[in-house]
Amino acid sequence: MVRLMNEEDMRRALLRLSHQVLEKGVEVADLIIIGIQRRGVPLAKRMSKIIEELKGKKPGTGILDITLYRDDLTQIAYQPVVRSTHIPFSIDNKRVVLIDDVLYTGRTVRAAIDVLIDFGRPQKIELAVLIDRGHRELPIRADYVGKNVPTSSEEMVEVKVKEIDGRDEVLLLKKSEVDI
Amino acid sequence: MNFNRKDLLGIESLSREEILFILETAKSFREVIDRPIKKVPTLRGKTVVNLFFESSTRTRMSFELAEKRLSADILNFSVSTSSSTKGETLLDTARNILAMKVDCFVLRHSTPGTPHLLAKELPVSIINAGDGAHEHPTQALLDLYTIREKKGKIEGLKIVIVGDISHSRVARSNIWGMCKLGAKVRVCGPPTLIPPLIEKMGVEVFYSLEDALTGADIVMMLRIQKERQNEGFLPSNSEYIDFFSLNEEKLNLAQPDVLVMHPGPVNRGVELPARIADGEKSIILDQVTNGVAVRMAVLYILLAKK
Amino acid sequence: MPEGLLIKGGRVLDPASNLDEICDVFIKEGKVRKIARNINLSYSELIDASDKIVIPGLIDMHVHLREPGREDEETIESGSRAAARGGFTTVCCMPNTDPPIDDPSLVKFIYEQAKNKGAVEILPIATISRRREGKELSPMGRLKKAGAVAFSDDGSWVTNSALMRRALEYVKMLNLPIISHCEDESLSAEGVMNEGYFSTVNGLAGIPREAEEVAIFRDLALAKMTDSSLHLAHVSTANSVRLIRKAKNMGIKVTAEVTPHHLAISDEGVTDFNTNTKVNPPFRGKEDIELLKESLRDNTIDVIATDHAPHTVEEKEKDYEEAPFGIIGLETALSLVLKEVVEKKILSLMQAIAKLTVNPARILGIDRGEIREGVKANITIFDPGKSWLVREEEFLSQSSNSPFLGWKLPGKVEWTIIGGKVVYRSEK
């Protein structure tokens, strides 16, 4: 087990991502940050807060669950829990930044894009991730990456966040070390 | 938790945890219903058959919408109750349809136990949409959902179910669900329409509507069918209305924030006056809306897995 | 005719003579010739009955053989084979066939079929009323002459009290019993299972106990009035038992029967809407079963009879309301009696066997149900130590509508012998 990021690393990465999002020069009024369940949600909330501190205005913030849009439902043995989706405003013509903890095969993001399209017609959808671990199975790329971590398929990347796990860190583990 | 059942046949056999799991899942689907595009691709490619041997517009419409919003394909098979005299039994009909490779049957039938017969013989999921006077699990689930949505909880609530309890699947399923979730349930109706030993299910029996309503948090009115008079259970419908119909005066005996429910369709002027059915204490339309969400949750839980 | 059949070394039980001994039975020319230890006579056939129990061939006075009319459910041939497998050597078949047995020619038909195709002795019961309609008396005198052994409208209760009175009076000259199926149909109405907590939970219409009790009371009153012999079929409730007990104490000439299945399953056992639990009278509550068992002990209930009622798979595959009432019983009867009555120490083995042999024989007035020198050699041999699994494929009955499928039951019938001839031998 290797610790890829500690709390301070994560704070800096998120700050840098927020700056990068704002670099595109868009109005905060047209910006929407949407966190992908489960750990993308606290990251989205943190990014929104950072942007509010930087610009004095908070972007629209939503949360999104992809369970109902997954492409691998028939391959799951267990019953996936459906979590909340809450996008209580129009996303039409807005610039939406999806944020998730880890980008891996790209299937989660594919599903998230489908959810967004069912909600409206955003002007642009971008992706921010804390960790990109490679092994894409679909033509999906992140616009903003906290850290690139090459991994093997025997490995797992786990992001822990205070809001859910009680601590902030990013771990690289062998599959055998993972606690489900 | 792991919901491991192949079918949803009734509330009696569900654990408290299973019921709560379904209600929690229904919350997500309630949100889908409020979206501009009320569709998710979750059950794309699955085929659900609505096998209705008893006429029912509402329940069928509710299931249809739930199925469509989950992107499932639907087959509607409505049969008059005399279809079995044509020689094809229920099991035959189902087997024939199953041969066309469907994934689920939603069955409504006038005889108790028919969904159980299919569930035993067929490998696909069976959802009971009402089997005679026995159970109507999705109705009870949407009722429980609605109560929880409005009151925040079920435990400790005083709930009164009024009407022809004897012939009511809605009553039975609700009694199971409400008792499992800790409510205090009262049933009220004429003695001829209260089934024997129902107290053993955990309810209190009242013959007086006024007594039953005293301090109640929720009042659920059931439909009274005209046939009961002909079958000797009631002297007349008008006498039933005298004693068991709801009005403002009687409703004032309940808690000030009492809510009125009805599985529908309402016999306006019989169980309830229009004023109350449409009034601010009525959550009848919420029941209908929530019904689609709850049925989506049930379909999802049973079908969206290996 | 074989020169002699020797049944060697079995435990011979004859309730009529209270015999309970390990000894031999020698049969020649169709009759029992000798019962003693270590019989030393020459024989042509030997049955080694060591560790087995040798009893008089069982008698079932309530069986539905469905012929004529419903040969798809059962025939005299298949039903009699099922009887033989169950250890029965004599069965009385009920007349609710199509056409019903209300005419001497039909009684003769049953005898003919039985003679040609029957594996066991079959005695026809004829109807009380013409066409079983409950309106006019059937020609009971002629029916007796043709060979009917009792009268019953079984399947229905004679609702017209005046007619039932006349029937009870009339049979006094014939010395044959009237067997009554006690059910007030206005009370049982649409019911499909016992009315009680479980019918409430199941949402099924109930058959109240009173549907039986009201009818029993009326029939007992008429039996008293006419001083005639009444036999009550398939008694199922505690209060029915209390009424019968009181009637017997008053000297009323009533006898009663109970089925093995009513001793084994209660209404709580109507689970999953299995139509093989749909029977009339229905399975009642645990308190009723207790009293039924108790009443066997003080002989309030004299006879155990199966009410064997075959139905095809297609008919029972219907939903609980539409499926017909009835379950088969010939092949599981003895084992159920051993399990529910003997093993549970309600009756001794001797007393239990009496309910299936000498008691029904006496009610019918036939010279059967005993192992006695000079009597026709109808004998059943079973192994009390062997238990068996009830399997659908093994039923000899044409139908398999039994709630006991999959049950493990004690006691296996190994030989059924009629007039010294082996009519059933179990596979090893």
pLDDT tens sequence across C211-253: 999 999 999 999 999 999 999 999 999 999 999 999 999 999 9
Name the amino acid, one letter, at B242: D
Residue in chain B closest to A65 (alpha carbons) equals: B28
Nearest Cα residue to C167 out of C200, C196, C141, C145:
C141
C33-50: burial string, b at 16+ Cβ within 10 Å, e else: bebeeebeeebeeebebe
Q: How confident is the model at residue A105 (pLDDT cuts 50, 70, 90)?
A: very high
Question: What ipTM did this prediction achieve?
Answer: 0.88
* Residue C294 token pair: 């108790």
d(CA B272, CA B266): 7
Instruction: Name the pLDDT band for C139 (thresholds 50, 70, 90).
Output: very high
Closest to B299 (Cα-Cα) out of B111, B96, B29: B29
- Other CB atoms within 10 A of residue A160 CB: 17
**Do B74 and B67 contact (CB within 8 A), yes or no?**
yes
User: Would the CB atoms of B42 and A65 count as touching at under 8 Å?
Assistant: no
Q: Is the peptide bond preceding residue C281 cis, with omega within 30 degrees of 0?
A: yes
Average pLDDT over every residue of C182-186: 97
| Sequence-separated (6 or more) residues with CB below 8 Å from residue C151 | C125, C126, C127, C128, C138, C140, C143, C167, C171, C176, C177, C178, C179
Q: What is the pLDDT of residues C351-409, one digit of tens each?
A: 999 999 999 999 999 999 999 999 999 999 999 999 999 999 999 999 999 999 999 99
Q: What angle do CA C374, C376, C378 make, to 5 degrees?
A: 130
CA C294, C296, C300: angle at the middle one, nearest 5?
100
Quick one: tokens of A17?
């991502």
Average pLDDT over residues A110-127: 94
Residues above pLDDT 70, as percent of chain B: 97
Across-strand partners of C22?
Answer: C11
The predicted structure's pLDDT at residue C20? 96
Q: Which residues pair with B268 in a beta bridge?
A: B272
Report residue B82's pLDDT band, with 50, 70 and 90 as the boundaries.
Answer: very low
Contact between C150 and C178 under an 8 Å Cβ cutoff? The reply is yes
- With an 8 Å Cβ cutoff, are A68 and B31 in contact? no
pLDDT in tens, B107-155: 999 999 999 999 999 999 999 999 999 999 999 999 999 999 999 999 9
β pairing state of B158-162 and B218-221? parallel
Q: Do chains B and C touch (3 or more CB pairs under 8 A)?
A: yes
Q: Helices (H) and strands (E) in chain A — how many of each?
A: 4, 8
Asked if C399 contacts C311 with a C-beta cutoff of 8 angstroms, the reply is yes
Distance from CA of A31 to the nearest CA of B (A): 20
The pLDDT assigned to B78 comes to 81
Write the CA distances from A139 to A108, B134, C116, C293, integer angstroms.
12, 53, 84, 77
B94 close contact with C: CB closer than 8 A: no
Q: In this predicted structure, what is the pLDDT of residue B47?
A: 96
C375's tokens: 């009597």
Residue B89: predicted pLDDT: 79
Element (H, E) at A98: strand A95-103
pLDDT digits (tens, 9 = 90+) for B203-261: 999 999 999 999 999 999 999 887 777 788 888 888 899 999 999 999 999 999 999 99
* Terminal-to-terminal C-alpha distance of chain A: 15
Q: Pick the residue from chain B with its C-alpha nearest to C273.
A: B113
pLDDT at C428: 64
pLDDT for C403: 97
Nearest CA in chain C to B81: C322
- Would you place residue A179 in the very low, low, confident or very high pLDDT band (cuts 50, 70, 90)? low
Element (H, E) at B169: helix B169-180
Distance CA C13, CA C19 (A): 5
CB C376 within 8 A of CB C419: yes
Q: B111 and C197: CB-CB below 8 Å? A: no
- Residues 6 or more apart whose CB falls under 8 angstroms from that of C407 comprise C332, C389, C390
Q: CA C113, CA C421: separation in Å to the nearest integer?
A: 19
| Residue of B84, B111, B197 with shortest CB distance to C200 | B197
Residue B286 clears pLDDT 70, i.e. is over it: yes
Q: What is the average per-residue pLDDT within C321-346? A: 97
Q: How confident is the model at residue B267 (pLDDT cuts 50, 70, 90)?
A: confident
Of C195, C203, C317, the CB nearest to B196: C195
Q: Do A83 and B28 touch (CB under 8 A)?
A: yes
CB < 8 Å to A75, chain B = 306
Q: Cα(B221)–Cα(A77) distance, rounded to whole angstroms? A: 42
Inter-chain touch B134–C202, beta carbons under 8 Å: yes
Q: Answer whether C74's CB lies under 8 Å from C66's CB.
A: yes
pLDDT digits (tens, 9 = 90+) for B23-81: 999 999 999 999 888 999 999 999 999 999 888 889 999 999 999 999 999 999 887 64
CB contact under 8 A, B304 and A73: yes
Determine the residue of chain C that is closest to B113 in CA distance: C273
Residues 101-130 of C with CB under 8 A from B: none
Q: Is C190 in CB contact (< 8 Å) with chain B?
A: no
Characterise A120 by phi-psi region: left (phi > 0), alpha (psi -120 to 50), beta (else): left
Taking 80 as the threshold, does the pLDDT of residue A156 lie above it? Answer: yes
Q: Does B179 touch chain C (CB under 8 A)?
A: no
Query: Which of these, C295, C328, C273, C330, lies nearest to C119 by C-alpha position?
Result: C330
Instruction: Answer whether residue A180 shows pLDDT above 60.
Output: no
Minimum Cα–Cα distance from A64: chain B residue: B28
pLDDT band per the 50, 70, 90 thresholds, residue A75: low
A/B interface, count of CB pairs below 8 Å: 51
Contacts of B162 (CB under 8 A, 6+ apart): B187, B188, B189, B209, B212, B219, B220, B221, B222, B244, B246, B271
Q: What is the pLDDT of residues C126-135, one digit of tens each?
A: 999 999 999 9
Minimum distance, in Å, between the CA of residue A151 and any CA atom of chain B? 29
Which residues of chain B lie closer than 8 angstroms to C273, CB-CB? 112-114, 116-117
Among the listed residues C143, C109, C116, the one whose alpha carbon sits nearest the alpha carbon of residue C129: C143
Chain B residue numbers with beta carbons less than 8 Å from the beta carbon of A84 are 27-28, 31
Q: Is the pLDDT of residue B86 over 90?
A: no
Q: Where are the beta strands (DSSP E) in chain B?
A: 47-52, 73-78, 104-109, 125-131, 158-162, 184-188, 204-206, 218-221, 259-261
Give the pLDDT mean for C101-129.
96
Distance CA(A176)–CA(C134), nearest Å, equals 81
- Provide long-range contacts, Cβ within 8 A and 24+ apart, for C266-274: C267/C193, C267/C194, C267/C196, C267/C198, C267/C199, C268/C198, C269/C403, C270/C193, C270/C194, C270/C198, C270/C202, C272/B113, C272/B116, C272/B120, C273/B112, C273/B113, C273/B114, C273/B116, C273/B117, C273/C202, C273/C319, C273/C320, C274/C403
| Distance, CA of B248 to CA of C310 (rounded, Å) | 58
Residue A168's φ and ψ, nearest 5 degrees, are -105, 120
- Above 70 in pLDDT, residue A45? yes
Share above pLDDT 70 across residues of chain C, in percent, rounded to a whole number: 99
pLDDT above 70 for A24: yes
Tally: H helices and E strands in chain B: 12, 9
All chains having 3 or more CB pairs closer than 8 angstroms to chain B:
A, C
Task: Please give the Cα distance from B19 to B179 (Å, whole number).
Answer: 12
Q: What residue of A is the nearest CA neighbor of B38?
A: A118
Q: Is a pLDDT exceeding 60 seen at residue C149?
A: yes
- CA distance to B210, B253, B274, B279, B296, per residue, from B248 (Å): 12, 9, 11, 10, 35
CA distance C314 to chain B (A): 9
Sequence-distant (6+) residues with CB within 8 A of C30 are C1, C376, C377, C419, C420, C421
**pLDDT of the residue at B80:** 62
In angstroms, the separation between the Cα of residue A176 and the nearest Cα of chain B is 24
**Angle formed by the axes of helices C104-117 and C76-85, nearest 10°:** 60
Interface residue A176 vs chain B (CB under 8 A):
no
Closest residue to B31, CB basis, from A77, A81, A84: A84
Kindly calculate the radius of gyration of chain A based on its CA atoms and give it in whole angstroms: 16
Q: Which residues of C are catalytic?
A: 307
Average pLDDT on A108-135 reads 94
Please, what sign has the CA dihedral across residues C324, C329, C331, C332? positive
Q: What is the mean pLDDT of residues C110-123?
A: 96
Residues shown for chain A: 180
